[in-house]
Amino acid sequence: MPFAILDNFFRENDVDAVAINNVLGTSKAVLHLCEMGHKRIGYIKSKVVINSFKERYSAFERELRHQNLAFDKNDLIEVGYSELEMKRDTLAYIKEHKNLPTAFFAENDLIGCNAVQAFKEAGYKVPEDVSIIGFDDRPICTMIEPQLTTIEVPKHIFGPEVVELLVSKMEKSREYSIKIEVGTKLVVRGSVKNITLNIIK
């Protein structure tokens, strides 16, 4: 029976798939932080292993190297997958680390938004003291203060693309698979500070 996978490539498998370009999205996020003057960038990572998260982490390290920036493993926050765990684990990290990066990349918006709340609860101002950028552009991004800068995933494209893949396979069988990567867009809101302005002053 013809089938196609949505939002996961399974690169090692010969199956049709439509998925987000995590490398492109992560690179855009890191580049934006660099353009805003951030040289020490931390990473907020889920303890749950998901393929898209693995791609984002690898792309994050790669883009930092491309920008000639080092990544200190002490700037890595690992959080549980529930909202309670995300906030609790971020607060625990903040209590143990007083010398923080100026910015953090969060693996997705839920992690990023909970990080914003955790930093505020710990007495930090976002983005004045620490900047945070997310990934996905979920509705929750506009429901917190400040609103979360993030990477938009055009979800409306996934459905039509995967349907076209299925139809093409049903109309004419083929021995090879097709994998489609969907691009991303940076959405600038209020959670990232431009610290180059401080340097200029």
Query: What tens digit of pLDDT does each residue of 24-65 get?
Result: 999 999 999 999 999 999 999 999 988 899 999 999 999 999
Domains identified in the chain, total number? 1
The pLDDT of residue 11: 77
> CATH number of the domain that 21 lies in?
3.40.50.2300
What is the residue range of 170's domain?
A: 4-200
As a dihedral over the C-alpha atoms of residue 141, residue 185, residue 133, residue 78, rounded to 10 degrees, the angle is 100
ω into 127 cis (within 30 of 0): yes
pLDDT class for 198, splitting at 50, 70, 90? low
The residue type found at 91 is L
